[in-house]
Structure 1
Amino acid sequence: HNLCICRYLVHASGICAGYSILSAVVVAIPRPSTMSRAWTFFLLDQLLTYLILSAGAISTEVVYLAYKGDASITWSQTCGSFGGFCRKATASIAITFIVTLCYAVLSLISSYRLFSKYDAPVPCNNKGIEIPAFQT
């Protein structure tokens, strides 16, 4: 079970690293910014921020249980026996949360670029946007 959680953290980190390299290459190529490109970066930045945040949160829970255990579900402390692994896992989680902060800043930058450069969509008809109301 712990191995699956560690795999999830490694896979999520790998996906984020690959995206970071790919987006750096795409941004380095001089091209005019389009709305679809801005939306793509915004959505991918949001998605990967939540992906790495979830990987860090799940791993934190597992490492906490490894340190403290949980008698109600018969999960014993394992860091007494595997202290080296627990220290490395804790360091990995700390780095993951630093990466999460970096992705959060990246998400703020991409949302600022998108929403400051492009206006909100204009309604297609003269009546405006209709919102259905609940009838009692």
Structure 2
Amino acid sequence: MSHSEVDHNPPTTSNHQQTFKFLELGFRLCVIPLAVSSILVMATNKQTDDTYGKVEFRNLSGFKYLIWISAISAGSAIASIPLSVFKFYNNDWVLFFLDQVVACLMVTSGSAVAEVLYLAHEGDREVSWSEVCSYYGKFCSKSMVSLVLHAMALICFIALSLISAYRVFSKFEAPSVTSKEVEEPEK
């Protein structure tokens, strides 16, 4: 078989498409309980210390941001299920865009909470911040659980981003080089 006879199209069998559709639906369904659980754990997170007073998630903007982004990710997963199951006009691009944006937002909110938790555990001696998790251990633990749930939802959205990117870009053929272009040197 010559080079020109080789088929460069990606496999598009029905079984292959069904596997991706099943994985996509599974990841979208997994995001919902993970994001909602992250919201519930964080939204109920508060603790009172006799010496230092009360702390709750509302006191830290990074924690509020995580709640908003988790709500957006759950809403996006719910809204995108019909788009992924039923084929509408060119909805692959819509899913690709939504998955990319939500994954990026989830990275930013997870990073914000991770930084707050790091400072709560370690403090920052350069600016005279002491660690606070020894006084507010329950609060720090619940924040960490919420962050882990958020990170698990993020992993689902990263997988969704890869699946939707594959679905969109596998429709295009790779550029081919003709034998005439290979033989002629560029001027």
* TM-score grouping bracket, smaller chain normalisation: 0.7 to 0.9
Q: Is 1:62–2:119 an aligned residue pair?
A: no
Could you tell me whether the CA contact under 8 Å between 1:39 and 1:114 is conserved in 2? yes
Please give the alpha-carbon distance, in whole angstroms, between the structure 2 residues aligned to 1:57 and 1:113. 29
Q: Which amino acid aligns with 2:73?
A: C
Residue in structure 1 matched with residue 64 of structure 2 by the alignment: 7
Q: 2:84·2:95 contact (CA, 8 Å) conserved in 1?
A: no
The aligned residue for residue 27 of structure 1 is 84
TM superposition shift of 1:2: 5.2
Any idea what SS the aligned residue of 1:77 has?
coil
Q: Deviations over 1:69-128 (max 9, x none)?
A: 0011122211111100000011111111111111100000000000012458xxxxxxxx
Q: Distance in 1 between matches of 2:172 and 2:96?
A: 13
Matched, 1:96 2:163: no
CA distance in 2, matches of 1:85, 1:97: 18
- Residue 87 in structure 1 maps to residue 141 in structure 2: yes
Contact persistence 1:69–1:77 (CA under 8 A) = yes
Between the aligned partners of 1:2 and 1:72, the Cα distance in structure 2 is 23
User: Shift in Å at residue 25 of structure 1?
Assistant: 2.7
Unaligned runs of at least 5 residues, structure 2: 1-57, 175-187
Q: 1:43 to 1:32 in 2, by over 3 A?
A: closer
Larger radius of gyration: 2
Retained in 2: the 8 A contact 1:38–1:110?
yes
What amino acid is aligned across from residue 80 of structure 2 in structure 1? S
Structure 2 distance, partners of 1:90, 1:67, is: 11
The corresponding residue for 1:115 is 169
Percentage of identical aligned residues: 38
Aligned partners of 1:86 and 1:115: how far apart in 2? Answer: 42
Q: Distance in 2 between matches of 1:96 and 1:88?
A: 12
Q: C-alpha separation between the residues in 2 aligned to 1:95 and 1:81?
A: 24
| Corresponding residue number in structure 2 for 1:52 | 106
TM-score, L = length of structure 1: 0.79
Q: How many residues are aligned here?
A: 117
Shift of 1:16: 0.3
Larger relative strand fraction: 2
Structure 1 stretches (4+) deviating beyond 4 angstroms? Answer: none
The residue that corresponds to 2:132 in the other structure is 78
Q: Distance in 2 between matches of 1:87 and 1:19?
A: 28
